[in-house]
Structure 1
Amino acid sequence: ILVSAQADPLNPNSINAAHDRWNRHSLLALNAARFCTAQRMAQPLRYGTLTRHQLRSDFLQNTREVLIYRPRLPQLARWTLLLFDGKTYQHEYRLANVLNALIASHRLPPINVVFIDSLDHSRRAKELPPNPHFADFMAHELLPWLNRQGISLTRQKTVVAGSSYGGLAASWVALRYPRQFGNVLSLSGSYWWAPQGEEAGWLTRQYQQSPRYPVRFWLQAGKFETSGPDGGIYANTLEFERVLKEKGYTVSFHPSSSGHDYAAWCEALVNGMRDLTGLALKGKPATPDPAQQQILYGAQR
C-alpha cells in the first residue's frame, strides 16, 4: 500500500511543499483556525530575509548548512528560535514563509529563526540523542557565530526546538547549558531514548537527579504515538512533564490528535512560540481546544 500511497485528489487541504501527489500529504484539520497552511507556505518572503550559510564545527568535525530568517522590521527581533532538522522544516514545509506571514499579521512577535541542518540520518542519530559534543557545539560554536552574524541572544528569549530526536536534543542542550538556552519547545520528543545497556527514559532521570534550572518547557506529543518503550512517545512525554513539575519547572503539555508527523509539528511549533512569547490571549493558550482533538481520538478507538 505504501508503494501507491498518494494525496487524496478530492481533498484540497494538503500540506508540505512537494508538487506531486506522491509526496504531498492530505490533511484533516478539525480546527479551522490552523496557522500552518499550504496557503501560508506558498506566500513569498515579503517581510523578511532568508540567508544560507555553512558552519564548521571543531567539536563535531563536520560542516552543516544553517539558514537564518530575519524579519524585515524597523525594530530588532528580540526572540530567537533555534530549530533542529531545519533543512526539512524549510525545504519541505516552508516554515520561514509561514512565520513571516504570521509576524506580518501580528500573530507572532518578531522572531529570528535559525534552521540547523541534521546532515543525514546516520549523523542525526549520533548527534541529537544526548551527545556532549553536540551540546558544546550549540553553546560554544553556534551562539558565538550567530553573534558575529548580528544576532545577539539572551537566555530569556532564546528558544531551542525540535521534533522527535530534535525534541530530545533541545531538552538535553538546555540541561547542559541552562544559562544560554532558557526555553525548550519539544515536539514528540524521544524521551524513551537511553544509552545502550540503560533503561528507557534516561534524560528524564537526569532531570530528576539534577538541580532545577531557569528553563521553561512547552511539550507536545500525539495521542497516537503509543508504540515503543514504556508506552511510546506520548506516555514518555507525560512522564517527563511529571518529573519537571515535581522539580518546580514551568512546563506545559499540549496533546494533539496526531501521530509522528510534520503536519502536527509545524502547527504545534507556531502554537508553542505564541505561548512562550506571551502573544497568545491571556488565559487562553494558543493550543486548540482539546475537546476538538478528542473527536479524532475517539474515532480511532
Structure 2
Amino acid sequence: MTDRTGHRMASTSRRLDRFDAELARKPGAAVEALLADLAAAQGPIIEETEGGHDALVTFVYVDDVDQVELNTPALMLNAPRVSQPMRRAAGTNVWTLVVRIARDVTTAYRFHVDPPTLGDTTEEMMQVVSDPDRYAAFTAAYTRSVRPDPYNPRQVADLADGSEEPQSSVLTMPDADALPEANDVSDRVVEHRLPGGRRIDVYRPAGGGEDLPLVVVLDGEHCRRGLVLEHLDTAITEGRVPPVRAVLWHNLSPTSRMAEMACNPALPQALTDELFPWLDKRAELPPTERRVLAGFSYGGLATAYTGLHRPDLFGAALPVSPSLFFTPDPHTEPGEWLTRQITPETTHTRWFLAVGRLEDIPIGLPGVAPDATMLSCARRFHDALRSAGADIFGLLEHPSGHEMFTVNAAVEQGLAALLTARTQGTDPRE
C-alpha cells in the first residue's frame, strides 16, 4: 500500500529478515534476540533507507492472541479505518508490521487486540460519533482493545479511548524535533462551573498578572488530557510565548460537539452569554483585540466559523486541523462551505492555521470532493483568506497527524505569532 505522501507499508526490513532467518534455526533464541533489540531501542526498531528522507520502522507486539492491529497516523489509512492488521510469525506470539515513515515525524501509536470498527464508510463513522449510545459503546470497546508498547517508556493520552492513563506510545523519528518537557500546572488550573452547568478550566501562568491576553480553547476535556496547558506553560516559562490566561471550554457531552461546532451560531453565542459575563465579573475579560480562540478538528471548524462571522468576540483565530470539509447539507451544498464564506468583509480577525502533514488522506464523505483532505482543505482556506486580504500570521504544516502533537506545536507557534507579531504572514509553501 502506497499513500499520497511517500509513506508506505513495507513487506519486511533488514531486522525482520534476520529474525525470520534465525527463527528457522533457533526459534527461542530468535525471539529472545528480537526482544533484546526492542528493549535497547525502547520501542520500534528504526532502520535507515537509501536516500535518507525516510526510514523503515519495525513495530513489534508480543502476545498469544487471535488478532493484533497497529494504529498510528503514520499509516495514513483511509477513514474509517484506524488500524492495520499485523503479521504473526509462525509458531510464535510475535506480531510485526513494517512502515516507511519520514525522518522528521513525531506521532503516536498503539496496538489493538480485537479492535472495534467505526463502520465501513466515513459516513457511517460520522453517524457513530454523533450518536451518544453508539459512540459510548465504541469507546468502551476501543479502550478495552488498546495496548501501549511495553518497551517504550514515552506515552501520551489517546483521545479516542476513555482511559484516565496514557495508552498511546510516542514515536520520535531521527530528525524530529525533540519534545519539550511538560510542566506541572496542577496548582494553577482551577475547574469552574458556569451558571448553565458547563465546565471550564482556568489557567494562570506563574506570577499571575491582571492584564493578560485571553486564550479560549475549545474541546476542553480533550485538551486537558492532551496536556495543552502543560505544554503552553512550558513555552511561557521558557519565553517562547507571552504570558496568557487560558480557558478550556468543555463540551456538554461527548457527542454534543458534533452539532454545537458544526458552523453553528449557537456556539459563539454561548461564549458571549455564558463565558464572557463570568470573566467580566472577575475583571478577567480583556478587549477583543487581546482575545484568541483556538480549536482542534471540529473545534477548529468552530474556531474558523467564529473568526469569520463573529470578529467582535475574538481578535485572533487559531484553527488546528480544522474540519473544513464541512457542508451543512451534502445533497445541496458542496463541501468546504466555510471557505466560500470568506470575503473582504469577513476578514477582520487575525489568523494562524495549523494542520498535520500526515492528514493528507481523502475525507470520503458525501458532498466532499473525492481528493479533498484535511491538509488540502486547510491550504485552500488559507489561500482564500490571503486572497481576501486577511491578516495571516502563518500556516503550520506540522510533521505529525490528527493528534495532540499538532495541537501543542500549533498553540505555541500560533500564540507566539498572533500575540507578538504585527506583520503579514507568508505562505510556507513559497
| TM-score bucket of the superposed structures, by smaller chain | 0.7 to 0.9
Could you tell me how far 1:79 is from its partner in structure 2? 1.3
In the alignment of these two chains, the number of paired residues is: 272
Q: Once the 2 structures are TM-superposed, how far is the Cα of residue 183 of structure 1 from its aligned partner?
A: 0.6
Work out whether 1:189 is the aligned partner of 2:322: yes
Alpha-carbon RMSD across the aligned residues, in angstroms, is: 2.8
The structure 2 residue matched to 1:34, chosen from 152, 167, 179, is 179
| Corresponding residue to 1:260 among 396, 402, 410 | 402
Which 4+ residue blocks in structure 1 deviate beyond 6 angstroms? Answer: 282-285
Of 113, 128, 133, the residue aligned with 2:261 is 128
Where does residue 29 of structure 2 map in the other structure? none
TM-score normalised by length of structure 1: 0.80
CA deviations over 1:227-247 (Å, ceiling 9, x no partner):
213311111111101110010
Counterpart in the other structure of 1:221: 355
- Return the offset for 1:27: 3.0
Which residue is equivalent to 2:271?
A: 138
CA distance in 1, matches of 2:325, 2:246: 28
Identity of aligned residues (%): 25
Shift of residue 180, structure 1, vs aligned partner: 2.2
* Correspondent of 1:53 among 186, 189, 192: 192
Shift of 1:28: 1.6
Aligned partners of 1:176, 1:145: CA distance in 2, in Å? 23
Q: Distance in 2 between matches of 1:167 and 1:13?
A: 27
User: Retained in 2: the 8 A contact 1:189–1:233?
Assistant: yes
Please, which of 309, 327, 335 is the counterpart of residue 200 of structure 1? 335
1:9-61 superposed Cα distances (whole Å, 9 cap, x missing partner): 3334333397757x1332325433434xxx41xx3338x6211111244xxxx
Taking the aligned partners of 1:238 and 1:156, their CA distance within structure 2 comes to 25
Q: What residue is the counterpart of 1:44 in the other structure? A: 184
1:81 matched to 2:226? The reply is no
Q: Which residue of 1 aligns with 2:374?
A: 233
1:188 and 1:94 mapped to 2: Cα distance? 17
Give the structure 2 partner of residue 60 of structure 1: none
- The alpha carbon displacement at 1:283 in A equals 11
Residues in 1 aligned to 2:234 and 2:358: alpha-carbon distance in whole angstroms:
30
Whole-Å Cα distance in 1 between the matches of residues 358 and 234 of structure 2?
Answer: 30
> Structure 1's 97 and 257: CA in aligned 2 closer, same or farther, altered over 3 A?
closer
Deviation for aligned residue 1:77:
4.5
AA in 1 matched with 2:399: S
Determine if contact 1:77/1:112 at 8 Å carries over to the other structure. Answer: no
Paired residues for 1:43-192 under 5 Å: 43-45=183-185, 49-57=188-196, 63-73=197-207, 75-90=209-224, 92-192=225-325
Say if 1:162 and 1:187, in contact at 8 Å, map to a contact too.
yes
SS in 2 for 1:100: helix
Distance 2:250 2:222 in 1: 8
Distance in 2 between the 1:7 and 1:284 partners? 40
> Which stretches in structure 1 are left out of the alignment for 5+ residues?
58-62, 291-301
In structure 1, give the amino acid aligned to 2:354. Q
Q: Kindly state the Cα deviation for residue 278 of structure 1 after the two structures are TM-superposed.
A: 2.0
CA distance in 2, matches of 1:81, 1:96: 11
- Whole-Å Cα distance in 2 between the matches of residues 74 and 222 of structure 1? 33
For the Cα contact (< 8 Å) 2:356–2:397, is it kept in 1? yes
Native 8 Å contact 2:218 2:294 kept in 1? yes
Max Rg structure: 2
Residue number in structure 2 paired with 1:294: none
